[in-house]
Amino acid sequence: MASITIRDVYKSYAKMQVVHGVNLDITSGEFVVILGPSGCGKSTLLRMIAGLEEISGGTIAIDGAIVNRLEPRERGCAMVFQNYALYPHMSVAQNIGYSLKVAGVPTAERTQRIQAVARILELEQLLDRKPMALSGGQRQRVAMGRAMIREPKVFLFDEPLSNLDAKLRVQMRSEIRKLHRRLSATSVFVTHDQVEAMTLADRLVVMNGGRVEQVGTPSEIYSRPASRFVATFVGAPAMNMLEGEVTLDGLSLLGGSRRLAVSRAGLPVGTKVAVGIRPEAVRLVAPGTPGALNATVDLVEELGAGRVVYVDLDGAAFSVMTSEAVHPAPGSAVGLQFSEADLHFFSSETGSRLDVFKASVPVPAL
Amino acid sequence: MEKRVTFSRWSIGILFAVPQLILIFTFFYWPAGQAVYWSLTLQQPWGGGNIWVGLDNFRSILSNADYWNSITASLTFAAISTGLAMLIALVIATLTDRQLAGSRLYRVVLIWPYGIAAPALAMAFRFILAPEAGFMAVVNQVWPGFWDPGLDGTDAMASIIVAFSWKYVGYNFIFFLAALQAIPRSLIEAAAMDGSGVIRRFWDIQFPLITPTIFFLLVINITESFQDSFGIVDIMTSGGPANATNLMVYKIYSDGFKGLDYSGAAAQSIILMLLIIVLTIFQFRFIERRVHYR
């Protein structure tokens, strides 16, 4: 068990800087998920913690000791790779036991520990097989076993589930979660899959363009996104965004066709803002209901338990998630209703969250 | 399912294969057949046809001490030059694979020696390793009589081994580098995470995974050392001193075209051919089979 402290870490390749000054504190035993689109620097950050990538600037400390100059093996981390990276010429047992062999652990003890790990991961029947004779899920478990057997201070996961099919992914997800509860080792898990991130994380780190956008519990990230990027990246379908502008008496939306009466809270008139609302916070009502917005249905996506209704709101695309048994026909008119407490405001310029509007209840209908 | 083009009539397929078949027949089967025929006959001294002598040519060669000396020299040459060329190439390829400074340059420069004709490089090495001038002259100044390939058989053998290895280091390097680069980087990283150092990683991960390439190069290097050595021997030592570098392929030439013993030379070339065939079959059947992972 160990804490990880990341201070002003940046990474640049020849001319390009890919990670720009990341600060992050991971407490001992925590399960942290780094979430972001591909190319956001999340894997690079993980590999810098592991020691596989040189740190261009800043410091990374594990348990208070700065590890910048240490070789991967001296850092006490174990890593599960995206493509599993199993040694193809070794059996499952040899793969799992390789680190112990390198460390010079006697054969008897090694066998015993391999057995113990294999029992936890239900790999006992497969110990003599070569990796190429295993299925994707089994390979994944061997990769986990190889990381577990070292009893590392820190577990690092580099998109370990992205090569599995959907069903297996859900299963491995809960196995990883159970494993963490059992070992309670500090874990850093990198993924671009938000469902994986939300379900696994004690704390979620959302990254974009080499910067940390927000750090928080999954529910914090979902309910109070710190930036427009986080708001639209987390949650499926993505949060609806309406462009607006601060006016004397509130906000004008959709090029002036709608108004939102909120106090300006000191923002100069003409400031561009974005108003966000989650599809699941919008209710479908009969068209013409007082206080509701009128829109036209474009498309309905059936999800079984619910459906996503895509509507056209004065030319802007807008989605609504509903669990009610309504099936509006494409082209028909619907009313949209939502509570002002569910609105999120972001600066159009910087993308950061504007909480100044929050104080300005009540918000009458648009 | 494998997709393949099929021809409705077998004759069309044959037609496509004909150009290649003609080439192989003209330049391999026909001369090889001729060699077999000559090896079983004796040429008349002043022309006028061949006399059938059965296996007499083989009997006389195999009972000749000079020939056994030639076989020993060939095997020594093959073993040392192959080992040297492969070892040096493997070391350089491993370093290059680790992206040391200048690795791009090696990659280009190291293939060049393979493009040089054997006699040309032999001429260069004859000057480089000359005992009376250049670097080896300096060594001889310090240790008089240390180096003289013109008089000392071991020195002569060492010279041709150096020249041949120099040529094949580049060839082997390209194959080794390709094999090393084909190993997924994450395997090396996983081993690094497992606590394995650079040397240990090489022996535990990289070396086992490039064994198919090692065996391929072993076959190529040994067979080439039996054949491609001719130009080097001819220019550098002419088989001397005292037959110390009279490799099988050079002895075939000198017996046949200098000694005018066509029948004996033909018999020797049949033996050399059989040796190479057996070696190749052995290596592919019994060794290559055990080293596939994918």
pLDDT digits over A280-320, tens only?
988 888 887 777 788 889 988 888 888 899 998 877 888 99
Residue A305 C-alpha from the chain's centroid: 24
The chain B residue lying nearest A72, using CA atoms, is B193
How many whole angstroms separate alpha carbon B97 and alpha carbon B65? 47
Q: Measured between alpha carbons, how far is B255 from B249 in angstroms, rounded to an integer?
A: 10
Among candidates A191, A148, A179, which has minimal Cα distance to B193? A148
Residue A52 · residue B189 · CB < 8 Å: yes
Q: Which pLDDT belongs to residue B101? A: 65
Average pLDDT over residues B66-87: 93
DSSP H or E stretch at residue A31: strand A31-35
Residue carrying structure tokens 């899959």: A193
**Bridge partner list, A246:** A251
Of B189, B195, B293, the CB nearest to A52: B189
Helical (H) or strand (E) element with A353:
none
Are A191 and A162 a contacting pair, CB within 8 Å? yes
Interface of A with B (CB under 8 A): 50-52, 71-73, 77-79, 81-83, 85-89, 98-99, 102-103, 130, 132, 146, 150
The Cα–Cα gap between A78 and A146 comes to 8
Q: What is the DSSP letter of A117?
A: H
- Judged by DSSP in three states, A162 sits in coil
Q: Provide the 3-class DSSP secondary structure of residue A33.
A: strand
Q: Which of A81, A89, A130 sits opposite B190 (nearest CB)?
A: A81
Nearest-CA neighbor of A265 among A278, A250, A253?
A250
Task: Please name the residue of chain B whose CA is at the shortest distance from the CA of residue A83.
Answer: B186
Taking CA–CA distances from A155, the nearest residue in chain B reads B193
Chain A hits for B191, Cβ within 8 Å: 87, 98
Residue A282, φ and ψ in degrees, nearest 5: -100, 135
* Mutation site, A44, A47, A53, A81, interface B, largest B CB count within 10 A: A81
Q: Are A98 and B187 an interchain contact pair (Cβ–Cβ within 8 Å)?
A: no
Our measurement of the distance from residue A350's CA atom to the centroid of its chain's CA atoms, rounded to an integer in Å, reads 21
Which helix H or strand E contains A176, and what residues bound it?
A: helix A166-183
If we measure between CA atoms, which residue out of A338, A231, A218, A235 comes closest to residue A274?
Answer: A231
CB nearest B187 (choices: A82, A87, A99)? A87
Which of A37, A33, A42 is CA-nearest to residue A229? A37
Quick one: fold of A4-230?
A: Rossmann fold (3.40.50)
Q: How far lies A88's CA from each of A135, B119, B193, in Å?
A: 14, 44, 17
User: Which residue of chain A is at minimal alpha-carbon distance from B290?
Assistant: A89
Amino acid at residue number B152:
D
Q: B193–A52: do the CB atoms touch at under 8 Å? A: yes
Lookup: tokens for B178: 């390709």
| Residues in chain A within 8 Å Cβ distance of B189 | 50, 52, 72, 79, 81, 85
pLDDT of the residue at B19: 93
Per-residue pLDDT, A98? 92
The number of residues making up chain B comes to 294
| Domain A4-230 identical in fold to domain A238-360 | no
> Looking at the partner chain, which of A82, A85, A102 has a beta carbon nearest the beta carbon of B196?
A102
User: Which residues does A105 contact at the CB level (< 8 Å), separation at least 6?
Assistant: A113
Task: Summarize pLDDT for B111-147 with one digit per residue, the tens.
Answer: 888 888 888 999 999 888 888 888 888 888 888 888 8
Question: Which pLDDT value is given to residue A359?
Answer: 40
Domain regions of chain A by residue span: 4-230, 238-360
Q: Encoding tokens for residue B28?
A: 């391999």
Residue B294 confidence (pLDDT): 44
Closest Cα in chain A, distance from residue B189 (Å): 7
The DSSP string of A328-349 is: PPTT-EEEEE--GGG-EEEETT
The CA distance from A95 to the nearest CA of chain B, in Å, is: 10
Rounded percentage of chain A residues whose pLDDT exceeds 90:
26
Reported as a single tens digit per residue, the pLDDT across A182-221 is 888 899 999 998 888 999 999 999 999 889 999 999 999 9
3-state DSSP percent of chain A in helix, strand and coil, to 5: 30, 35, 40
DSSP A357: G
Distance CA B264, CA B38 (A): 8
What gap in Å lies between CA A55 and CA A69, rounded to an integer? 9
Q: Hey, what are B168's tokens?
A: 């094949």
DSSP code of residue A128: T
* Among A119, A153, A120, CA closest to A2: A153
Strands A316-322, A333-337: pairing is unpaired
Give me the CATH code for the A238-360 domain, please.
2.40.50.140
Q: Using an 8 Å CB-CB cutoff, list chain B residues near A50.
A: 189, 193
H or E stretch covering A94: helix A92-102
Q: Given B184, B208, B294, which is nearest A85 (Cβ)?
A: B184
The C-alpha atoms of residue A5 and residue A63 are separated, in whole angstroms, by 8
Compute the distance between CA of residue A136 and CA of residue A355 in angstroms, rounded to an integer: 46
Model confidence pLDDT, tens digit, residues B250-269: 999 998 888 888 888 999 99
Amino acid A26: pLDDT:
92
Tokens 């029992």, residue located: A119
Residue found under tokens 């509701």: A292
> Per-residue DSSP letters for chain B?
-------SSHHHHHHHHHHHHHHHIIIIIHHHHHHHHHHTEEE-TTSS-EEE-TTHHHHHHHT-HHHHHHHHHHHHHHHHHHHHHHHHHHHHHHHHHTT-TTHHHHHHHTTGGGGS-HHHHHHHHHHHT-SSSSHHHHHHHHSTTS--TTT-HHHHHHHHHHHHHHHHHHHHHHHHHHHHHHS-HHHHHHHHHTT--HHHHIIIIIHHHTHHHHHHHHHHHHHHHHHTHHHHHHHHTTT-STTTT--HHHHHHIIIIIS--HHHHHHHHHHHHHHHHHHHHHIIIIIGGGG---
Residue of A52, A82, A129, A142 best to disrupt the B interface, most CBs of B under 10 A: A52
> Mind listing the domains of chain B with CATH numbers?
65-291 (1.10.3720.10)
- Position A361 pLDDT exceeds 60: no
The contact set of B with A (CB < 8 A) is: 184, 186-187, 189-197, 200, 204-205, 208-209, 293-294
Q: Is B195–A103 a contact, with Cβ atoms under 8 angstroms apart?
A: yes
Contact B190 A87 (CB under 8 A): yes
A88, A164 contact by CB (below 8 A) = no
Closest-CA distance of chain B to residue A158, Å? 11
Distance between A57 CA and the closest CA of chain B, angstroms = 22
On chain B, the residues whose CB falls within 8 A of the CB of A73 are 192-197
CB contact under 8 A, B190 and A52: no
pLDDT beyond 60 at A365:
no
Q: Give the β-pairing of A293-302 and B50-52.
A: unpaired
Strand duo A293-302 + A316-322: pairing:
unpaired
Is the pLDDT reported for residue A129 higher than 70?
Answer: yes
pLDDT digits (tens, 9 = 90+) for B165-208: 999 998 899 899 889 988 888 899 999 888 888 899 999 999 99
DSSP line for A34-56: EE--TTSSHHHHHHHHHTSS---
Task: For strands A293-302 and A344-347, give the pairing.
Answer: unpaired
Indicate yes or no: pTM above 0.90: no
Task: Sort out which chain A residues have CB atoms less than 8 A from B194's CB and list them.
Answer: 73, 98-99, 102, 146, 150
